[in-house]
Amino acid sequence: MGVHSKKKNQILMYEEGSRNLKENNLKNHIYKLDSNIVLKVKNLIKIYKTNGYAVEALKNVNLKIRKGEFIAIIGPSGSGKTTLINALGALDIPTSGEIIYNIDNNGEGRDITKMNSKEHKEMRLKKIGLIFQFYNLFPILTAYENVELPMTILKKNPVERKKRVEELLNLVGLGKRMHHLPSQLSGGEMQRVAIARSLSNKPSILIADEPTGELDTETTKQIIKIFLELKNAGQSILMVTHNRRIAETADRIITLRDGKIINERKGGKPLEDIWEH
């Protein structure tokens, strides 16, 4: 930070009063993480309050995700899976606890629960690749433009953008569908565009909520195959799924129930084996 902007920040804090000064100190707190940890979740609690009545959706969740790990989260409907994903994906703020990201890839930890919405947006642009059950593509943008958008927002240069978009769409097998609109693609193809888009700014982790929830068995296999290839190339992935079979392909399978982690076990089954009895 230059002297000038430091001074400007001090003036801003002065103007906004001491309360903000205190919050800013909290926000800037640096945690030390092992450099091989992508993120660490500590004592995470989320209570939803609606009409004076409270739902405890997460009850003290603790979790560490290492670089290059593929983790599946399973559990019955209502167990808190989406709540956990939304907190980790900087989409919602938990009631208490910490979510510490390895922000510089070298062990400098920052707690995203203390960040403001602008910083959350930056986290989602640069560090977290989000993938949803219903793809969340922009309907008026082509596959190419959907994948390019996060790079355009970060003002990456056009030559670099073009190279990366083509590389990513080829990686997910859509080299020949680059200029199709989402409405001209199948569900599996739309999800592959969403995966390519989530990777555009080289995030430290992919976070996917029921990515195959709308897809048939064959298409589900294609998506998991892509996840496994990404994982083998060193990408960290956290995936929530209802599908117990595909969860078996992950390195670790974590079960949530009533907002708590009740089980954790090893997976690592080859994709070809999971549909056999």
- Residues in contact with ligand ADP by the rule CB under 6 A: 48, 50, 55, 57, 75, 77-83
Q: How far apart are CA 9 and CA 159, in angstroms?
A: 35
Q: What minimum distance in Å lies between the beta carbon of 77 and Mg ion?
A: 7
Residue 127, binding choice from Mg ion, ligand ADP, none, Cβ under 5 to 8 Å by partner class: none
Q: Of residues 227-266, which lie at the interface with Mg ion (CB under 5 A)?
A: none
Residue 129, binding choice from ligand ADP, Mg ion, none, Cβ under 5 to 8 Å by partner class: none
Q: What minimum distance in Å lies between the beta carbon of 79 and ligand ADP?
A: 4
Q: How far apart are CA 269 and CA 186, in angstroms?
A: 28
Residue 235, binding choice from ligand ADP, Mg ion, none, Cβ under 5 to 8 Å by partner class: none
Six-digit token string for 70: 């593929």
**What is residue 184's DSSP assignment?**
G
Residue nearest to Mg ion as judged by C-beta position:
82
Segment interacting with Mg ion, rule: CB under 5 A, options 10-18, 52-60, 77-85, 125-133:
77-85
Out of 82, 142, 204, 220, name the contact with Mg ion by CB under 5 A: 82
Enumerate the β-bridge partners of residue 136.
none
Comparing CA positions, the residue from 235, 33, 41, 242 lying closest to residue 129 is 235
Nearer to Mg ion by Cβ, of 82 and 243: the residue is: 82
Q: What minimum distance in Å lies between the beta carbon of 162 and ligand ADP?
A: 37
Q: How far apart are the first and last CA of the chain?
A: 59
Q: CA dihedral in degrees (58, 62, 68, 70; nearest 10)? A: -50
Nearer to ligand ADP by Cβ, of 72 and 193: the residue is: 72
Q: What minimum distance in Å lies between the beta carbon of 123 and ligand ADP?
A: 20
Q: How far apart are CA 223 and CA 215, in angstroms?
A: 9
Q: How far apart are CA 8 and CA 175, in angstroms?
A: 47
Q: What minimum distance in Å lies between the beta carbon of 49 and ligand ADP?
A: 8
- 95 close to 47: Cβ distance less than 8 angstroms: yes
What is the contact surface with Mg ion in residues (CB under 5 A)?
Answer: 81-82
